[in-house]
Amino acid sequence: MDQDATNCSDSGANQTHSACIPSDETVQQLGRIGLMLMPYLNMFSWGIGVVGIVGNILTVLVFAKLGFAETINISYVALAVSDLLCVLSTMVTSFLFSPAMRALLHHYRVQVDLVKFANFTSFLPQFAFSRTTAFLTAWISLERCLCVLFPTRVRLIITRRVTKLVVFAIFVLGCGPAVLECVTMETDWRFDPDTNTTTLLIYHSLKKGSDVYHGIYIILYGAVYPLLSWIMVTVCTIFLVTKLRDSAKWRKANAYVNSTTNRSAPKTHRNARRGENRTTKTVVMIACMFIVCSLPKSVQSLMGLAFRNVYSVYGSLRLLFVTNAAFALVFMEINSSLNIIFYSITGAKFRSTLKKMFLKK
């Protein structure tokens, strides 16, 4: 098949081809820059990963102490668990492509295609839990929008039981394609007595239906999931930000009336109103972080799907693909590591409970 037609369009025009992918010189330059930055990126990934592990574990512990009377706390805990698993899988990826892994394989005289091995052991879990995180963020954003739109009815609709069912469904939805992909993969060992080395073989099985499973995995993780979650979170965030701005303008315009009303209103009502505003701000912060950090990964997935023959690990744009994939993974790791900061900034109860956990004698 003609390369231009494969990469860009059916016309095969050189101008179209040049517009679709960078020139060879540009690709080589970007590849050299990526290779120089890779060790530093690897170290940064480990550093932010440690922060993410500690932060997500503390988040689960704090919300467990606060209880689950508020349904959103269940969603926060589910998000922290998914983020924790996403961070762990990203750190495994960083280790697999580190000099330590190469030294380990050399020591035990094992040969393996690290790309295929990483795809089986870390890329698949990372895809699964990053997409689960995306859908959980979308669910939290949607739940907050419903609370703003229907404040009196939403508690009757989104109960603890409903929230648990939705969270379970999201984990199944996010991890399902990765499970299907694992079904199509097989492993085997081959020993070479001449070189005294053992080769680990990882390959897609030729069982009936394996191509269908792999196609589902590519389409869902590469296009459907990223677009659906990103659009949903973006729309909900715009709505929440607009409502927060309108609420701030209304309070400013009616400052005197509000002060009089607040003094006469019961303290529980005032605290509830402040709590709702703080929750909305927390969700907006989490959603904005997700929108920014997930965009490189979504673009990477869509480009890989559109230009699969050249923009892949084994394609002519391999160096560009690997460099962009590494940066996209780090951005997703950042998204999965810093939510505890938002909870601490906006949640007074979260802060006090977190302090008590460290100051308790």
* pLDDT score recorded for residue 10: 41
Show Cβ contacts of residue 20 under 8 Å, excluding neighbours closer than 6 positions.
7, 8, 9, 307
CA distance 230 to 131: 10
Mean pLDDT, the chain cut into blocks of 10 residues (361 residues total): 40 43 60 71 88 95 91 94 94 83 77 76 87 94 89 84 95 89 75 72 61 79 86 92 76 56 50 71 92 86 77 74 83 92 90 84 47
Show Cβ contacts of residue 310 under 8 Å, excluding neighbours closer than 6 positions.
3, 6, 7, 21, 316, 317
Q: Which long-range contacts (CB under 8 A, 24 or more apart) does 196-199 make?
A: 196/109, 197/109, 197/110, 197/111, 198/109, 198/110, 198/111, 199/110, 199/111, 199/112
Token look-up 């606060």 returns 66
Domains of the chain: 28-359 (1.20.1070.10)
CA-nearest of 115, 35, 128, 40 to 312 is 115
* pLDDT score recorded for residue 208: 55
The three-class DSSP label of residue 110 is strand
**110-112/197-204 β-pairing:** parallel
CB distance 213 to 181 below 8 Å:
yes
Residue 132, amino acid: T
CA distance 349 to 334: 24
Show Cβ contacts of residue 298 under 8 Å, excluding neighbours closer than 6 positions.
226, 227, 230
* pLDDT score recorded for residue 19: 46
- DSSP for 184-229, please give it: TEEEEEEEETTTTEEEEEEEE---TTHHHHHHHHHHIIIIIHHHHH
> How many other CB atoms sit within 10 Å of the CB of residue 352?
12
Strand partners, 203: 186
Q: Is the pTM of this model over 0.95?
A: no
